[in-house]
């Protein structure tokens, strides 16, 4: 083994980190200079904010990419030699030559795609293993068999690096796969930006990792557009987002918004849980029509006849709302008047709140006509005795009347999405009695994940009338300008600068800056990142959308997500065989047909990198019991350790049996998960070290307790599945395929079909 090769690579890595430190120092100095800049006016402040944001993003990328910065080296037959790393770094020379290439660059593709049959111009491919800033191992692959040169680090097994990564102990956080991307994964990662790409794969096929690396690649290849509009990644639960949260920062990308469906309505966090069956009802596509009908129901007409009305007439009086006016007595807002106003407002096609002013204006006009006829009408049918100015004054009085606006609020109220949906769930309408009973809940109850798409739909139907906020902002701006003008007026005549050739003329403050520019300088700058601004804005349109476990989402959830990405640039990741949510569509055709027809691409990952063959064989039997033709992904490795299944005599013994199994199966390094139905968590938590029932699982702890849905997308060294018969087949399949090394099953009753 050549120590000289180690020395050469160590010298290179040392130089690389020295350059990284230098770049970081430069960025920090540039950011400080920008913050201290004393520019005037909006443009100067904008340039300063952009500079601060750019340098802050660069510093974050450099910090994130530091661990394992360089992991490979390509030696081409034509003499070229390139190191490959998580982020690209150039030398500080006149030519700005690359010191290490970004793994996403086109020239880096042979690192992932070259084979002995198709070497893509490579002579050899080197894998570097580092710990911190130290090189710990080298592994060379010879791709040009005619090359007689040997380094002493050649390996007979081309998959040694991959298998070492797969066998490594879990840490409670997903690691990037940038060192071990396989050819089929690379093709997906670099697929074109536009359109909908569906990545389907069974457990352990790396589909989530592929989607995350695709996000990093798209941000690299389409930096200008995607950095401005952002990328949204939607995961199934908070534990999953915590699990994948370090992957993109490790690849130098920190501007991506990660969220669950329950976090996609600003100002609302879904913390409650639906009763069984409720989520399925709320998730149906028909709920959009139901909510539209609920909104129309809030656009009402008078229903009762005022007391004493019509006593002196043989004609039946109309239902009306009585409006007491201090100066002119009682006005009547009758049904025909309200019907005409409602018809006019609806004809605008605007959402409820935006159409409301049209309703109000028509009501005010009608009441003004009524009052004008009362005060200036000629009983013999002649012209109204009031002039236009008199009628206009009456209109102003009507328009500013609190009682008039109270009547308008009764017939066409301004509504928030929360008010509308909470009212609907407290008293569901336009549903069957059975459906209404499933979703009915008292007012003031917490929001569930299935409520979030309903709130988003309600927001679309209602619209948001921000005219009052805009008017307030403009008033505040004018006040700032007036204050600034006052300051300038006070300074007028005071001497600021005197020019030698103009002894009698002085340059005052108002000659340098006007009041409007002075007021602008007092406005607070928005230093939020793209992801932070997008998270606070329900109407934000993302440049790309990635959805993990996409098969689990309801039709209403997809309506929400399609609004978030109107360009339909999406990567959807999932496995229909793992559909467990009662509202989940479970079919790519059902998800996409309403929005893009058949204009989407499906790619399948068929190799299981995580789950050993022995475990996969047991798990596949659960689905084969219902689907005889089911074929799981093919595992790339076998551990020689078969899963065990043990019966527990009684339910009272279950907690003790789990504790004993945990003590027996606890890996020396890595993580162990107990996956059990939620109803057992209270009993089991007391038997597990450091576990608290009902708390969000901390995946960095050595032992965690999860239900099957929480375990989606996660992986552990050892898994113990409890009471498999109490879990749906798809959920059980998920639970059984989370282990990378060992699997055990504990049960008190019968075993489900396919597991026995």
Do 59 and 76 form a contact (C-beta atoms < 8 A)?
no
- Report which of residues 330 and 527 the model is more confident about: 330
pLDDT at position 503, please?
47
* pLDDT tier for residue 523 given thresholds of 50, 70 and 90: low
Could you tell me the fold of the domain covering 613-747?
Rossmann fold (3.40.50)
Report the pLDDT averaged over residues 116-128: 89
Q: 298-313: string of b/e by CB count within 10 Å (b at 16+)?
A: ebebbeeebeebeeee
Is 495 flagged in the annotation as binding? Answer: no
Residue 411 phi/psi, 5-degree rounding, is: -85, -35
| 3-class SS of residue 177 | coil
Q: Residue 264 pLDDT more than 90?
A: yes
Whether the Cβ atoms of residue 737 and residue 204 lie closer than 8 Å to each other: yes
Categorize the per-residue pLDDT at 494 as very low, low, confident or very high, splitting at 50, 70 and 90: very low
pLDDT, residue 516, reads 65
Q: How far is Cα 476 from Cα 462, in angstroms, rounded to an integer?
A: 27
Q: What pLDDT does residue 470 have? A: 66
What pLDDT score does 659 carry?
94
Taking the C-alpha atoms of residue 308 and residue 285, their distance in angstroms, rounded to an integer, is 48
As a whole number, mean pLDDT of residues 686-704 equals 86
d(CA 524, CA 208): 39
**What is d(CA 310, CA 314) in angstroms, rounded to the nearest whole number?**
7
Instruction: Answer for the pair 461, 297: CB distance below 8 angstroms, yes or no.
Output: no
Q: Bigger pLDDT: 176 or 353?
A: 353
203 in a labelled binding site:
yes
Whether 242 has a binding-site annotation, put simply, is: no
Write 691-696 long-range contacts (CB < 8 A, 24+). 696/238, 696/239
Is 267 among the annotated ligand-binding positions? no
Name the maximum alpha-carbon separation found in the chain: 117
Summarize pLDDT for 538-580 with one digit per residue, the tens: 999 999 999 999 999 999 999 999 999 999 999 999 998 888 8
Other CB atoms within a 10 A radius of the CB of residue 367 amount to 25
d(CA 262, CA 718): 30
* 429 has a pLDDT exceeding 50: yes
Classify residue 480 as left (phi > 0), alpha (psi -120 to 50) or beta: alpha
- The pLDDT > 70 percentage for the chain reads 88
The terminus-to-terminus CA distance of the chain in angstroms comes to 51
Q: Is 205 within any annotated ligand binding site?
A: yes
3-state secondary structure of 468: helix
Q: Are 266 and 535 in contact (CB under 8 A)?
A: yes
Confidence grade of residue 588 (pLDDT, cut at 50, 70, 90): very high
pLDDT of residue 495: 42
Of the listed ranges 405-414, 470-479, 732-741, the one predicted with least confidence: 470-479
Beta-carbon count within 10 A of 68 CB: 18
pLDDT of 603 strictly over 90? yes
Q: What is the mean pLDDT of the chain?
A: 86
- Does 282 appear as a known binding residue? no
**pLDDT single digits (tens) 150-159:** 777 777 565 7
Nearest CA to 69 among 99, 92, 93, 97?
A: 99
pLDDT at 508: 47
Nearest to 513 by CA among 492, 535, 531, 527: 492
DSSP of 259-312: EEGGG-STT----S-PPTTHHHHHHSTTHHHHHHHHHHHTS----SPPTTTTTT
Average pLDDT of the residues in 324-351: 91
The answer to whether the annotation marks 97 as part of a ligand binding site is no
Task: Tell the residue number behind the tokens 């949510």, with chain if given.
Answer: 581
C-alpha dihedral, 55 to 58 to 63 to 66, nearest 10°: -150
Q: Are 457 and 421 in contact (CB under 8 A)?
A: no
Question: Is 700 annotated as a binding-site member?
Answer: no
pLDDT tens track for 456-488: 999 999 998 766 666 666 677 777 677 666 665
- Confidence band for 43, pLDDT divided at 50, 70 and 90: low
- Which residues, including other chains, have CB under 8 Å from residue 582's CB and lie 6 or more apart? 276, 277, 279, 280
């Amino acid at each position: 083994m050549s120590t000289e090769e180690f020395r050469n690579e160590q010298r290179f890595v040392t130089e690389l980190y020295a350059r990284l430190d230098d770049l970081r120092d430069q960025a920090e100095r540039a950011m400080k200079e920008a913050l201290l800049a004393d520019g005037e006016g909006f443009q100067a402040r904008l340039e300063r904010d952009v500079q601060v944001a750019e340098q802050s993003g660069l510093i974050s990328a450099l910090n994130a990419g530091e661990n394992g910065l360089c992991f490979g080296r390509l030696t081409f037959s034509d003499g070229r030699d390139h190191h490959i790393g998580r982020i690209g770094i150039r030398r500080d020379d006149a030519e700005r030559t690359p010191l290490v290439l970004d793994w996403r660059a086109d020239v880096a593709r042979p690192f992932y795609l070259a084979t002995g049959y198709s070497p893509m111009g490579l002579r050899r491919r080197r894998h570097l293993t580092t710990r911190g800033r130290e090189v710990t191992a080298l592994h060379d692959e010879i791709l040009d068999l005619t090359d007689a040169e040997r380094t002493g680090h050649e390996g007979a097994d081309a998959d040694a690096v991959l298998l070492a990564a797969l066998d490594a102990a879990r840490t409670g956080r997903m690691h990037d796969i940038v060192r071990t991307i396989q050819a089929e994964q690379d093709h997906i990662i670099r697929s074109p930006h536009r359109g909908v790409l569906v990545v389907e794969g069974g457990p352990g096929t790396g589909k989530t990792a592929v989607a995350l690396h695709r996000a990093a690649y798209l941000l690299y290849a389409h930096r200008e557009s995607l950095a401005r509009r952002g990328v949204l990644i939607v995961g199934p639960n908070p534990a999953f987002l915590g699990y994948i949260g370090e992957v993109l920062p490790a690849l130098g990308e920190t501007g991506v918004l990660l969220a669950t469906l329950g976090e996609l309505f600003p100002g609302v966090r879904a913390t409650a849980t639906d009763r069984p069956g409720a989520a399925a009802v709320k998730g149906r596509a028909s709920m959009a029509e139901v909510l539209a009908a609920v909104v129309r129901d809030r656009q009402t007409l008078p229903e009762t006849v005022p007391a004493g009305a019509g006593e002196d007439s043989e004609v039946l009086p109309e239902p009306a709302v009585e409006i007491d006016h201090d100066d002119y007595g009682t006005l009547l807002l009758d049904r025909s008047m309200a019907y005409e106003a409602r018809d006019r407002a609806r004809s605008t096609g605007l959402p409820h709140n935006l159409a409301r002013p049209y309703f109000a204006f028509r009501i005010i006009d009608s009441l003004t006509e009524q009052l004008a006829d009362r005060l200036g009408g000629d009983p013999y049918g002649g012209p109204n005795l009031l002039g236009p100015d008199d009628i206009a004054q009456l209109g102003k009085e009507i328009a500013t009347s609190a009682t008039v606006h109270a009547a308008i609020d009764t017939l066409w109220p301004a509504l928030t999405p929360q008010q509308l949906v909470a009212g609907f769930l407290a008293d569901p309408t336009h549903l069957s009695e059975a459906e209404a009973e499933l979703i009915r809940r008292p007012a003031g109850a917490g929001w569930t994940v299935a409520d979030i798409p309903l709130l988003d739909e309600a927001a679309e139907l209602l619209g948001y009338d921000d005219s009052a906020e805009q008017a307030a902002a403009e008033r505040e701006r004018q006040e700032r300008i007036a204050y600034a003008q006052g300051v300038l007026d006070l300074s007028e005549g005071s001497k600021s600068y005197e020019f030698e050739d103009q002894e009698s003329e002085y340059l005052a403050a108002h000659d340098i800056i006007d009041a409007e520019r002075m007021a602008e300088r007092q406005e607070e700058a928005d230093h939020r990142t793209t992801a932070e601004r997008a998270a606070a804005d329900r109407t934000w349109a993302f440049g790309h959308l990635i959805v993990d476990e996409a098969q689990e989402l309801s039709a209403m959830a997809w309506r929400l997500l399609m609004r978030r990405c109107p360009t339909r640039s999406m990567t959807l990741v999932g496995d229909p065989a793992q559909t467990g949510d009662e509202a989940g569509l479970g079919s790519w055709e059902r998800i996409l047909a309403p929005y893009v027809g058949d204009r989407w691409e499906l790619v399948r990952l068929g190799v299981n990198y995580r789950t050993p063959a022995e475990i996969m064989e047991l798990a596949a039997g659960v689905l084969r019991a219902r689907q005889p033709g089911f074929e799981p992904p093919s595992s790339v490795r076998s551990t020689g350790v078969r899963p065990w299944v043990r019966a527990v005599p009684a339910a009272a013994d279950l907690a003790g049996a789990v504790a004993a199994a945990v003590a027996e199966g606890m890996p020396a390094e890595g993580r162990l998960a107990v996956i059990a139905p939620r109803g057992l968590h209270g009993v089991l938590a007391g038997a597990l070290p450091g576990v608290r029932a009902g708390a969000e699982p901390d995946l960095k702890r050595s032992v965690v307790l999860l239900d099957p849905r929480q375990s989606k997308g996660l992986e552990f060294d050892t898994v113990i599945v409890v009471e498999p018969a109490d879990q749906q087949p798809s959920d059980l399949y998920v639970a059984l395929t989370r282990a990378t090394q060992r699997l055990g099953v504990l049960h008190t009753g019968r075993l489900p079909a396919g597991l026995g």
